[in-house]
């Protein structure tokens, strides 16, 4: 009986050790990626973001030059646009063009500062802070008043169509009036509900 117990123990040990010997020792192996999918995806998305940034630079140049014809090339046919202070949302290229035609002469100069961006294969989400110095009006010129600086945030959603990026949604939101108790730095971004 004693020999049978030894045999059983040896058989049990072999049953446990043989599968371990047949597999690679993970504890001693250097961690390496199974494939380069994650790296390729990061590179691909970096290229998409670079393409979208180039498109947005062209949009900004056209916007700064009041070039409505060029601007309209950057909007998706179902685009949604809302300017700061407007309760009306324009949808579709015809309505977007009408709104831009009315607003461009009054906008003046505008600068953007990136706050957040996220890119996927076919969508790009961008949040930027904008600062606009509107064109002076005739009444302000006569009164000797300088136009007031306008600041806020803009949210953009871009879609990829036929290899290029188009604006699907663009919303300009004015900055909330500063209060003595809730003044935050101009570039503050609150994450995860924290202040």
Position 146 scores a pLDDT of 64
Position 124 scores a pLDDT of 94
Position 35 scores a pLDDT of 56
Position 149 scores a pLDDT of 83
Q: Which CATH number fits domain 39-174: 3.10.450.50, 3.20.20.70, 3.40.30.10, 3.40.140.10?
A: 3.10.450.50
Residue spans of the domains in the chain: they are 39-174
Position 10 scores a pLDDT of 44
Yes or no: say if 187 and 155 are a contact pair by the CB < 8 Å rule: no
The pTM of the full predicted model, rounded to 2 decimals, is 0.67
Position 76 scores a pLDDT of 96
Position 26 scores a pLDDT of 40
Position 64 scores a pLDDT of 87
Nearest-angstrom CA–CA distance, 22 and 8: 21
Q: What does DSSP say about strands 164-174 and 90-91: parallel, antiparallel, or unpaired?
A: unpaired
The CA–CA distances, whole Å, from 45 to 52, 68, 118, 119, 157 equal 10, 30, 9, 7, 16
Position 106 scores a pLDDT of 84
Position 183 scores a pLDDT of 46
pLDDT tens, N- to C-terminus, the chain (195 residues): 545 444 444 434 444 444 444 444 444 444 444 556 778 888 888 888 889 989 999 999 999 899 999 999 999 999 999 998 888 999 999 999 999 999 888 888 888 999 999 988 899 999 999 998 877 665 555 666 666 788 999 999 999 998 799 999 999 998 877 654 444 455 555 455 544
């Amino acid at each position: 009986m004693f020999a049978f117990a030894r045999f059983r123990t040896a058989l049990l040990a072999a049953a446990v050790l043989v599968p371990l010997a047949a597999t690679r020792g993970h504890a001693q192996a250097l961690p390496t990626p199974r494939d380069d999918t994650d790296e390729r995806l990061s590179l691909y998305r970096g290229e998409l973001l670079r393409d979208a940034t180039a498109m947005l630079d062209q949009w900004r140049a056209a916007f700064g030059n009041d070039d409505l014809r060029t601007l309209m090339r950057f909007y998706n046919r179902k685009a949604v646009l809302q300017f700061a202070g407007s309760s009306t949302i324009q949808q579709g290229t015809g309505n977007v063009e009408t709104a831009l035609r009315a607003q461009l002469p009054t906008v003046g100069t505008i600068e953007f500062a990136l706050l957040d961006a996220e890119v996927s294969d076919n969508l790009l989400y961008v949040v930027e802070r904008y600062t606009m110095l509107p064109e002076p009006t005739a009444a302000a010129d006569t009164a000797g008043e300088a136009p007031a600086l306008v600041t806020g945030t803009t949210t953009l959603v871009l879609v990829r169509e036929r290899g290029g990026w188009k604006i699907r949604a663009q919303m300009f939101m004015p900055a909330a009036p500063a209060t003595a108790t809730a003044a935050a730095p101009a570039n503050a971004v609150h994450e995860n509900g924290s202040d």
